[in-house]
Amino acid sequence: MDEALIRSLTPGVLTVLVRRGADFAAAEDAVQDALVEAVRGWPDDPPRDPKGWLVTVAWRRFLDASRADTARRRREDRVDEEPAPGPAPGVDDTLQLYFLCAHPSLTPSSAVALTLRAVGGLSTRQIARAYLVPEATMAQRISRAKRTVSGVRFDRPGDVATVLRVLYLVFNEGYSGDVDLAAEAIRLTRQLAASVDHPEVAGLLALMLLHHARRAARTAPDGSLVPLAEQDRGLWDTASIAEGVRILQAALARDRLGEFQAQAAIAALHADAPTAAETDWVQIVEWYDELARLTDNPVVRLNRAVAVGEADGPRAGLAELATLDDTLPRHTAVAAYLHERDGDLDTAARLYAEAAHKAPDLAERDHLVRQAARLNSRHRHGR
């Protein structure tokens, strides 16, 4: 069985059933039944038209289920309307699935799970492993999401911004278990970019590619985090960087700036610097100004304070930091870094230790503990 083929066909098959009148939950169940039949039969007898085969079998499974749940007259109407088996339409209209899975009534976690299942073609088990939750828990989450969007029809344009937020959430989950969610998010965003002409879709794809290009350098062999300034840039994926920059430049040329394009521009400036010392921090600050104007996001302003500290000196960065809420995530870690840059190692060590207690995950906590230990060791040795 070609798993990649199955995953690429699944969204289109699901869309065909929904367009024929099946509600989302019933259609998704029917498609899963068809996939089970494919796993059983295709290795020995592969069909000439895999998508057409899946559409035919899934539609029949849907009709079988309908016969058990609806009145006889309605059942017969549906049977009469069954299209004859044959090649499925070649049009890829899975874009509608993105909008359905990013329905505003869904929670972000449910929208992500449903997108991975319906558009990504991942199994419930794969999604559960990626999120490190029991399969039964993920099955309930997906079932609730399917019930929520059942009955929703494709009668109005979807919200691209909501779809992009869901895909960005998928990307930021990174990698765990047997599913690389960052790579999956890039695949889905490529698919979306091929379906809709929107500069922010291109901006998100560029951002993903530029961040993903640094992946191999982000951790040391022992699994510890490697800060951007200390990464081995020879490990960065230059092909992904070149593609991301090319996509970004085309999007920016359209003069419809959005937050993902601005974030991608910042990532591109980091990628363009041969060494950390050669980073164009002045231009990065300017892009953070644009991003802050677009989003008014306090986390953006926190990152801007770091950039100001690099461009204009740590005291300028600390002055910017003083204007922000000190309860912001990573505020203490940023303060520690800027104090270290300013030469106040005692304060920096204390703040690194404090930030470690607030760290959102084990890897970041360990990194901050090491930073505090490094400075305390220097202090003890009088360096």
Give pLDDT tens digits along the chain (383 positions).
Answer: 677 788 888 888 998 888 888 888 888 889 999 998 888 888 888 899 999 999 999 999 999 888 766 544 454 454 445 544 544 444 445 667 888 888 888 888 888 888 888 887 788 888 887 777 899 999 999 999 988 888 776 555 567 888 898 888 888 876 555 668 888 889 889 988 988 889 999 999 999 999 999 999 999 998 899 999 999 999 999 999 999 999 999 999 999 999 999 999 999 999 999 999 999 999 999 999 999 999 989 999 999 999 999 999 999 999 999 999 999 989 999 999 999 999 999 999 999 999 999 998 888 999 999 999 999 987 666 55
pLDDT of residue 119: 81
Token digits of residue 136: 């039964």
Cα(311)–Cα(371) distance, integer angstroms = 23
86: which 2 tokens?
Answer: 């044959």
Give, rounded to a whole angstrom, the gap between the first and last alpha carbons of the chain. 62
Q: Is the dihedral of CA 220, 130, 32, 195 positive or negative?
A: negative
| Distance in angstroms (rounded) separating the CA atoms of residues 352 and 253 | 42
Q: Identify which of 126, 194, 213, 200 has the alpha carbon closest to the alpha carbon of residue 162.
A: 200
Rounded Cα distance between 234 and 284, Å, is: 22
pTM of the model: 0.78
Residue listed under structure tokens 């304070």: 305
Q: Residue 219 pairs with which residues in a beta bridge? A: 225
pLDDT for the residue 309: 98
The DSSP line for 297-324 is -HHHHHHHHHHHHHHH-HHHHHHHHTTS
How many angstroms separate the CA atoms of 285 and 304, rounded? 6
**Which uninterrupted H or E stretch holds 175?**
strand 175-176
Q: What is the pLDDT of residue 148?
A: 87
CA–CA dist 103, 26 (Å, integer): 18
